[in-house]
Every structure is written in structure tokens, then in C-alpha cells.
Structure 1
């Protein structure tokens, strides 16, 4: 694919998650099961058995997973609850495959958040495979606006060397399990409703993935 001109307006990002490639990173969200259906909407996340323990002290949660007292919760992605998915061959291998689903692309204010779900489908000697292992990291995740000939790369902090995305090395999953991955971009400069998503130069792009807009 020939790269399109990069045109990103300067943007100040305040209070985003500490996600960059150089961050120490916290525990990654993993999943017990990974289905094989191409796309299934409406699946619910697994219940947290610990929250039902008699010794649990946390408050009741609302439908969004936040405590009734106002404490923010975490939305765990479901590998079947995606708007698009595909299985790719890991670059540099003959038959190692990894499944990627796009949970959502949400535009909010001046930023766009991409949520991915990665499910390794190869056995790396019993070790968990990282996002870095599965994707050719010589290239960046890119959102492409074909209509206006623009592309958007992951936001970079002032001074460089740190990007607003999950840690590619420490985001891992065992074969058949899934893990979520987040990346932040500048909001589209133009009035568009879909974008293409490129994960690696050697893979086909996801075309016409819908954008969700939040106030």
C-alpha cells in the first residue's frame, strides 16, 4: 500500500490513560474463551465471581460497570462483540495465525479511541504471545480516511518516544485466549462516518469500519 500524506492537527491530550510503549503498564485484561464465529454482536462480558463473594466490600455497580458511588469501572471487551474481525498470518511465519477484532472506534471531542481484541491462535511453546509478537511493529496502527486522502497515526506525547496506546510488549494472551488493546488518535478533520484500519503493512486493511461519535 502506498502511504497517504499524513495530516494531523496539533492536539493537547489531557488525562489519557498511561498507555505508551515506554510505560511500565498495569495488568492486562485477558479472556477465558475465544470464539471462531466471524462477528457476533450483543454478547455480554463474563461475570466477576469475586464480586459475588460474601466478603466483597465494593458497592453495587450500574449497567456500565461503574460503582453506584461514582467510581469508574473497566469495560472488558468480548472477542465476539465486535464490529469487524479477521484472522491473519503472523509476519515472518508460515502458519502462525492471530485473530483481531475491532470492538469500536469512538470519536470524543478531539480524540479517537480504537479498541481491538487480539486472540493468538498459535502455540508459542506454551508462552503467552504479545501484541508485539503478533504484529509487525516496524509500522504503526493507522486509521485511513480514503475519501479525503488522509491518515491518522497513534498520538505521540510531547518530546517523542511515548505513544498513547497499550504497551505492545506487555499486552499478552495465551493461545485461544483474548486480550484488549487500546490506541488513541486525533479526531477526524473532516465529516466522515467510516475509516479503514491498518494493523500491519503485510496485512489487508479493515475497510469502512464505522465511527461512533460521543458528545
Structure 2
């Protein structure tokens, strides 16, 4: 191995400094053109884990800033023992949580019941989106009920495009986001599955999945 000298280190440091100086100048130029703000439609989709977790990160950031948020969970059941529900309950003045699902669709095995639950959750979601109090509304697993045609995609897209307040953030999670929803979204992230412990025989674990 060749030993480095102080002169070598100085040269490396000088090249790094110059590279970062140019990088900062380029970034500053780009950032100078970004001055607008608006309420975003955000979609977290894909086969990978982390869609709801990422969305909850934005929820908790809002709470940290003292901004009220609302969460509607379209699939999770009120009987589920989830960490997010316990944590959100600690901020009643800032967090409104509605757990309105019936559990996984393969558990209910009752399409009419699932549709009724989805419609009730969507009605509540619209109220919360129109409510001036909440700065962000998370529609957790809405993509799932849209995929199974429990709700009209056209109705959801039209409402979000035409009736969402201009300064309101709406976050939608779940696999298989519909193309029409992706089209109107401002930010779309596709979580890609690389590895998952479930395939190794490991069950969903408290603190990781719920």
C-alpha cells in the first residue's frame, strides 16, 4: 500500500473543495428558481414496504410544527393495535384519526360490507379535506379500495382536482395507484420491493409493520 503524504492530502482536499464549491453554486442557482408553495397531492405506491410509514413521517412532521392533521385509514380496523394510533392519540389537539376499515378484504369476504366501509371513509375524508383546520390529510390505503372498485376513481380524482383547497396537502397510500390519480398528483413515489422478511417466513412485527 502506498503511503499518502501531507501534500497528497492537501491536493485531495483542494479538489474536493473545488468540486463542492461548483456543486453548491449549481444548487443555489436551481434553488433560486424555486419559490412557490402549494398544497400537494402526494401518492406513495408500489410493491415495496414503507408507503404508509413515509406518509406518517409527513404527518408527524406537521405535528412537530404544530400544524393540525387528519388521517383516514381505509383498510385498517379499529380492533388493530397499531403504533401510529397510540402515538396520534397523544396529540388530540393536533391529530384527528379515523380508523374506518374492516380489515383485509380477504378477511371480510363480504364485498357489500367492504364497499359500505369504503364509502363511509371517503365521505369522512372529503369532510376533512374541506375542513380549513387540517393542513394535511392522509388517506391511508385509498389505492386499495380504488383497485377493487369499492369507490369510483373518477369521483375521487374529480374531487381532489376540483375541490381540494389550494393550500391543503393530501397524501394517498397503497399499492397499484390508478393512472388517473398518478396523473393529477404532484409527487409520486413508487416503493420497489428488493427483499422482504415475509418471504423468509417472518411474520409482520409490532413496531415495523404496525
* More contact order relative to length (CA 8 Å, sep ≥ 6): 2
Q: Give the number of the structure whose alpha-carbon radius of gyration is greater.
A: 2
TM score, norm. by length of structure 2:
0.27
Structure 1 or 2: larger strand share? 1
Alignment TM-score, normalising by the size of structure 1: 0.27
Higher helix share: 2
